[in-house]
Amino acid sequence: MAKLKDLKDLVQNVNLTEEQIAELLTIIVDMKKKNENAEKGKIVLPPELVSLLEKCTINRGEELVCPLCGSTSVNKNGKKDGRQRYICKACVKTFGDTYGTLLYHSKLTVKQWIEFLTLTLYNASLNRIKKDMGINLATAWYNRHKICSLIMQLEGEQDSFPSIVEGDEFFIPLSFIGERNKSFFIEELKRMPRHHRNRAEKFEYIEQAGYEVAEVEDMDGFYDDETIPSNLSVSKELNGLDKEEKRKRGISNEQVCVITAVDKMQNAYLSPTCLGKIEPKHLEQHLGGRFAEDSILVTDSLRAYRTFANNNKIHLRQIPSGRHTSGPFNLGKVNSYHSKMTDFFDRYKEVGSKYLDHYLALFRWQEKGFNSRTADRVNMLLDMLTKGVPEKVEFPKLKYRPFPFDTKNIIPLLI
């Protein structure tokens, strides 16, 4: 490019006519205008977005990996509208800074994400989030499960137990809330989804599904106007029962069993296990290999624990039924963990069983850092959002996922 000084010399030496000077001035003024317009049209990103996008770039690290093909021959490919672009030399595709993170194609702004995460940490219901943020229910639902899946994928690794650990089961009513597969309810379960509220809506539901009202009128729940499933009270009763009583009563197959193990060092194992009563094979599958040689597992008097402990040579101390302690051992920690779980699930009223693992991951993660401030935890979640997730969270995959526990063929694994 010519230097300014050279240009000046050139202009002075070429003896320009008046017209030529005027023309030259017009060209320069036009150029100036063009530059100004370009400056105006430039996208200015809000500072909170800039710092989040920078985090995405930092999290990609020095060793860039292509999220499309996994190749490591990836180069930076300049910036577009203030945002970093990348190009993969292997698959010759380009991608942007949020590609591979859950921020990719997100409908929420950063400010909305912060609000959403805060409400999530307050265990707000989807309806409350919808109202407070003015977003639709589907967006709220989708983003909730994105967050839960993220926590599960990045922070969900379950713990092992080096010393004394308390184990127990927790029950949550089986729920099909949100399911739209009408023939499943009508043909397999022989009842209405419990959350269908009034009679008119129920008639509509049946008719839309192509059935005659008279055919199904006597189905369980058809005239039932309550919005909260009656088994919630059954679960509460079960969770509060004396262990021996719990066993005598027999556990209904409309209850999902959640296995819980906790110790005083904040180690926790928490997972939906099966419908109804827990069996030794479930304990094996979930807790097998998680105990050190001199760990002691403390449980109630349920026989399944005995079988499991014998098979795995685990030291077991069972609290006899009707008692609260056995020597120095008790179930205080797991009981208090479960009473927090009761409070947690109370806030949501009803949780679709298909997503129980998600809610439990959220609960477990919140419990692990229960003494940190909400604002700090929001930042931790924001930070997670800027990291690549091993498994993409896509709407159809979420909607049509199998139940995350052994359904014992009482209901199909996938509905």
Site for Zn ion in 82-101 (CB under 5 A): 88, 90-91
Coil, helix or strand at residue 28: helix
Binding residue for Zn ion, selected from 11, 24, 69, 292, defined by CB under 5 A: 69
Query: Cα(268)–Cα(170) distance, rounded to whole angstroms?
Result: 14
Minimum CB distance to Zn ion, residue 389 (Å)? 17
Q: Which is nearer to Zn ion, 104 or 329 (CB)?
A: 104
- Min dist. Cβ of residue 246 to Zn ion (A): 54
- C-beta of 88 vs 251, nearer to Zn ion: 88
Residue 154 CB, nearest distance to Zn ion (Å)?
23
d(CA 161, CA 262): 8
Phi, psi of 75 (to 5 degrees): -120, 155
- Determine what percent of the chain falls in helix, strand and coil, rounding each to the nearest 5: 45, 15, 40
- Residue 71 found at the interface with Zn ion (CB under 5 A): yes
Name the minimum Å distance from CB 94 to Zn ion: 10
Nearer to Zn ion, 59 or 335 (CB): 59
| Residues 177/351, Cβ–Cβ less than 8 Å | yes
Site string for Zn ion, 17-56 (x = CB under 5 A): ----------------------------------------
DSSP 105-117: T-SS-HHHHHHHH
**Hey, which residues does 298 pair with through a beta bridge?**
166, 317
**Least distance to Zn ion, CB of residue 392, Å:** 16
Closest among 158, 367, 358 to 270, alpha carbons compared: 158
Return the residues of window 331-350 that contact Zn ion according to CB under 5 A. Answer: none
Is 66 a binding residue for Zn ion by CB under 5 A? The answer is yes
Task: Determine the Cα–Cα distance for residues 212 and 210; give it in Å rounded to an integer.
Answer: 7
Size of the site for Zn ion (CB under 5 A): 7
Q: How far apart are CA 231 and CA 237, in angstroms?
A: 10
Q: Which residues are 329's β-sheet partners? A: 326
CB of 70 or CB of 322, closer to Zn ion: 70
Residue with tokens 């996938």, as numbered in its chain = 414
Of 99 and 405, nearer to Zn ion (C-beta) is: 99
Task: Please check whether residue 104 is in contact with residue 126, taking contact to mean a CB–CB distance below 8 angstroms.
Answer: no
Q: What is the DSSP letter of 322?
A: T
Q: Of 18-26, 67-75, 165-173, 264-272, which part binds Zn ion (CB under 5 A)?
A: 67-75
Q: Which stretch binds Zn ion (CB under 5 A): 13-21, 69-77, 115-123, 195-203?
A: 69-77
Fill in the DSSP letter of residue 161. B
Please identify, among the stretches 81-89, 248-256, 340-348, 364-372, the one whose residues bind Zn ion according to the rule CB under 5 A.
81-89
Closest to Zn ion by CB, 272 vs 388, is 388
Give 90 or 137: the residue with its C-beta nearer to Zn ion.
Answer: 90
- By beta-carbon proximity to Zn ion, the closer residue of 35 and 72 is 72
CB of 59 to Zn ion, least distance (A): 18
Report the nearest approach of Zn ion to the CB of residue 93 (Å): 6
| Closest separation in Å from C-beta 65 to Zn ion | 9
Using a 10 angstrom Cβ sphere, with 0-12 exposed, 13-18 middle and 19 or more buried, the burial of residue 64 is middle
Q: Evaluate whether 194 touches 177 at the Cβ level (below 8 Å).
A: yes
Least distance CB 350 / Zn ion (angstroms)? 43
Nearer to Zn ion, 68 or 241 (CB): 68
Q: How far is the CB of 90 from Zn ion (least distance, A)?
A: 5
Q: Is 64 in the site for Zn ion (CB under 5 A)?
A: no
Please state, in angstroms and rounded to a whole number, the distance separating the CA atoms of residues 133 and 113. 10
If the CB atoms of residues 72 and 227 are measured against Zn ion, the closer one turns out to be 72
- Cα–Cα separations (whole angstroms), residue 413 to 70, 270, 408, 409: 32, 20, 9, 7
Please name the residue ranges forming H helices in 259-385. 280-287, 303-312, 332-348, 356-368, 374-385
Candidates 64, 65, 68, 415; binder of Zn ion (CB under 5 A) is: 68
Residue numbers at the binding site for Zn ion (CB under 5 A): 66, 68-69, 71, 88, 90-91
